[in-house]
Amino acid sequence: MFTTIIIRPIFNLLALIYAIIPGHNFGLSIIVFTIVVRLLLWPLVKKQLHQAKLMRKLQPELKRVKAAANGNRQKESAMLMELYKERGINPLGSIGVLIIQIPILIGLYSGIRKVVDNPKAIVTFSYPAIQHLSWMKQLSHNIHLFDGTLFGVVNLTRSALAHNGAIYIPAMIIVIGSAVTQYFQSKQLLPSDDKARKLRHILKDAGSGKSADQSEVSAAVGRSTKFLLPVMIFLFTVDLASALSLYWLVGGLVAYGQQSLVLGRDEGEMEKIADKDDKNIIEGEVVESRPKLSAPKKKKTPNNKKRRKK
């Protein structure tokens, strides 16, 4: 069922692109495929980035909530949930694109694995309508026409690191490029805070007996992911066919461009969304109410009128 619903449709989109583009280069097909996928995800990506933008604007309010809670974790959580609700922010909204990309990545990997093991799969695993395309008919008669490279430079069926330890330099460049791109992509989404403590400092203080603030720990963990994800991508793709690394590299570059568009150049639209949400917030709801000042008492003025002597 997973093959029918996920793997085969994704593979056939790639096969269709490969069959109709000029030159029929497999690397160019993956680049076009990646761009098409990112464009199809654009509405969801844009919504996710709107949430990220609003979260950035919310940083001062989060600090006020922390100060108002005064160490009361339950009160702080309740105030945060109320603030998110009022601002229309879903704290888990950013994982939507990731959840959708996981089956795409699995489907693409499975399809590429079939082509690596047997190049004829580019024809046999395709839908009948694609098999009847002119180029696919030629491949069915002579599979040696299949070009599984990136413009004749990188063999995309090879991995950057072979099982015997040999390094394939062109593929390694793509793997490193995909990891570096992921780093800048993650860094672009994270709110900047020069005064924020690093996770190791927080854990060090916690080890010495000082209580660690949960929100500060969560923020530090979030910042550490900009290093963790690139390392994971590198380790995951270094011994796989470099076609998958190419998909990740191009996807990261397109995502970085989309984020720059929404988080940077699309400032006017983002400000309108944020200002619209701001109107629904009553100032001071996330901080402790100030005591009302009583009206100053009027001083009794002495009666300066002299009494007439009788």
What are 122-161's pLDDT values in tens digits? 999 999 999 999 999 999 999 999 988 999 899 998 899 8
For residue 287, report the phi and psi dihedrals to the nearest 5 degrees: -125, 160
Three-state SS annotation for 115-170: HHHCCCHHHHCCCHHHHCCHHHHHHHHCHHHCECEECCCEECCCECECCCCCECHH
DSSP state letters, 19-35: HHSTT-BHHHHHHHHHH
For residue 298, is it within any domain?
Answer: no
Integer Cα distance of 39 and 51 in angstroms:
19
Integer Cα distance of 130 and 211 in angstroms:
62
Asked if residues 58 and 89 have their Cβ atoms less than 8 Å apart, the reply is yes
pTM: 0.69
| pLDDT the model gives residue 78 | 77
Is 292 a residue whose pLDDT tops 60?
A: no
For 220-230, how does the pLDDT look when each residue is reduced to its tens digit (9 = 90+)?
Answer: 556 666 778 88
- In which band, very low, low, confident or very high, does the pLDDT at 108 lie, cut at 50, 70 and 90? confident
For residue 287, is it within any domain?
Answer: no
Query: Average pLDDT over the chain, rounded to whole?
Result: 75
For residue 84, is it within any domain?
Answer: yes
For residue 229, is it within any domain?
Answer: yes
> In terms of residue numbers, what domain contains 25?
2-278
Question: Which of 114-118, 274-278, 300-304 has the highest average model confidence (pLDDT)?
Answer: 114-118
| pLDDT the model gives residue 105 | 81
For residue 309, is it within any domain?
Answer: no
Distance from the Cα of residue 49 to its chain's centroid: 8
| pLDDT the model gives residue 50 | 72
What is the identity of the amino acid at 297?
A: K
Q: How far apart are the first and last CA of the chain?
A: 115
Asked if residues 110 and 240 have their Cβ atoms less than 8 Å apart, the reply is no
| pLDDT the model gives residue 16 | 94
Number of domains in the chain: 1
- In which band, very low, low, confident or very high, does the pLDDT at 65 lie, cut at 50, 70 and 90? confident
**Residue 40 in tokens:** 């199809």
Contacts of residue 154, Cβ cutoff 8 Å, sequence gap at least 6: 27, 170, 171, 174, 242, 246
Question: What proportion of the chain, given as a percentage, has pLDDT over 90?
Answer: 25
- In which band, very low, low, confident or very high, does the pLDDT at 85 lie, cut at 50, 70 and 90? confident
What does the radius of gyration of the chain's CA atoms come to, in whole angstroms?
A: 29
- In which band, very low, low, confident or very high, does the pLDDT at 19 lie, cut at 50, 70 and 90? very high
| pLDDT the model gives residue 277 | 45
For residue 260, is it within any domain?
Answer: yes
Higher pLDDT, 188 or 172: 172
For residue 133, is it within any domain?
Answer: yes
| pLDDT the model gives residue 281 | 42
For 223-257, how does the pLDDT look when each residue is reduced to its tens digit (9 = 90+)?
Answer: 666 778 888 889 988 988 899 899 989 988 998 88
Integer Cα distance of 156 and 31 in angstroms:
12
**Residue 3 in tokens:** 């093959």
Is 118 a residue whose pLDDT tops 70?
A: yes
| pLDDT the model gives residue 150 | 92
Rounded to an integer, the average pLDDT of 51-55 is 70
Question: What proportion of the chain, given as a percentage, has pLDDT over 70?
Answer: 64
Give the residue ranges of DSSP H helices in 143-241.
Answer: 169-189, 199-207, 214-237
Is 70 a residue whose pLDDT tops 60?
A: yes
For residue 65, is it within any domain?
Answer: yes
